[in-house]
């Protein structure tokens, strides 16, 4: 059984991450950009001339790795999946830089015995040269085998459902069968996304796509449909993962205008795989 106080006191090493334009391009390829190699709206993410970074690249900067397994957490890492992610972009992400961040656990939520737990971590990503805050990333891990440790019952935060009307914008994108194999090269080594045996042990028929890759697909759809292909216009994105995506699936991203910006739903067929908001 996990100890929430032990998790909240967990000391993460500071990460100093130097990345180049090659890494920025690799991230973009991992979320499917470049699939239309003649489109200037794809090339801006994968070609050094005029290169820009997709805002969701923040999720791989100074990333602490598969810490559920690598640090002394007490979690059953084989049953841990990504539950939600949010980014706040405070300044345009450089396409090459050195950044610094230190992750910390900010919340542990017990869903109850047999229902798992949520572990929320956060890191502020700063420019390594001047300390300027570039982005804040918050991640929620759904630890499916670690519930029932006690504590007051709390409801987990959930995004509001989409409005009951047709979407204002919709974008279709078909992921590549090897998408997870490319995306993992940006620093997410969880074997759930590459090793069939690990995926079966976790209850999946085959390796699944990283939730953060799905988030990147939705982010690009939003930048294209809502912000005139200008990635610098997106400042905030919150995403909750609701079902797995298999590499090769076609993702439909739907967007609704709401008072705080845009609500979105990503679906594969009739199944919603991600919900959230952005602005």
Q: φ and ψ at 33, to 5 degrees?
A: -70, 145
Give the Å distances, CA to CA, from 204 to 75, 76, 85, 92, 111. Answer: 19, 16, 21, 37, 22
User: 23, 110, 146, 188: which one is catalytic?
Assistant: 188
The owner of tokens 């590549």 is 176
Report how far residue 240's alpha carbon sits from residue 190's, in angstroms, rounded to the nearest whole number: 19
Separation in Å, CA 220 to CA 18, 49, 53, 150, 253: 24, 19, 11, 40, 10
Given 42, 82, 193, 210, the catalytic residue: 193
Respond yes or no: is residue 188 known to be catalytic: yes
- The question of whether 195 is a catalytic residue gets the answer no
**Residues 6 or more apart from 121 whose CB is under 8 A from it?**
64, 103, 104, 105, 106, 138, 139, 141
Pairing verdict, β 133-143 and 116-127: antiparallel
- List residues with catalytic annotation: 188, 193
């Amino acid at each position: 059984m996990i100890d929430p106080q032990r998790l909240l006191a967990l000391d993460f090493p500071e990460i100093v991450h130097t990345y180049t334009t090659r890494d920025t391009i690799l991230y973009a390829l991992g979320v499917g950009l470049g699939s239309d190699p003649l489109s200037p709206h794809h090339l801006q993410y994968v070609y050094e001339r005029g290169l820009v970074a997709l805002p969701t690249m923040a999720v791989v900067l100074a990333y602490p790795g598969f810490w559920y397994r690598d640090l002394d957490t007490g979690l059953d890492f084989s049953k841990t999946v990504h539950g939600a992610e949010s980014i706040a972009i405070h300044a345009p992400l450089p396409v090459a830089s050195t950044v610094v961040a230190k992750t910390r656990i900010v919340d542990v939520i017990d869903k109850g015995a047999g229902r798992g737990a949520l572990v929320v971590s956060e890191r502020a990503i700063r420019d390594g040269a001047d300390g300027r805050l570039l982005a804040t990333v918050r991640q929620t891990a759904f630890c499916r085998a670690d519930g029932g440790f006690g504590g007051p019952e709390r409801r987990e935060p959930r995004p509001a459902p989409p409005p009951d009307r047709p979407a204002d914008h919709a974008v279709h994108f078909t992921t590549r069968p090897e998408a997870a194999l490319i995306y993992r090269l940006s620093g997410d080594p969880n074997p759930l996304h590459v090793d069939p045996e690990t995926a079966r042990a976790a209850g999946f028929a085959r390796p699944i796509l990283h939730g953060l890759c799905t988030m990147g697909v939705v982010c690009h759809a939003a930048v294209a449909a809502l912000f005139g292909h200008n990635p610098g216009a997106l400042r905030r994105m919150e995403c909750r993962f609701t079902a797995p995506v298999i590499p090769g699936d076609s993702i439909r991203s739907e967007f609704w205008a709401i008072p705080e910006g845009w609500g979105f739903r990503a679906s594969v067929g009739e199944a919603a795989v991600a919900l959230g908001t952005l602005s």
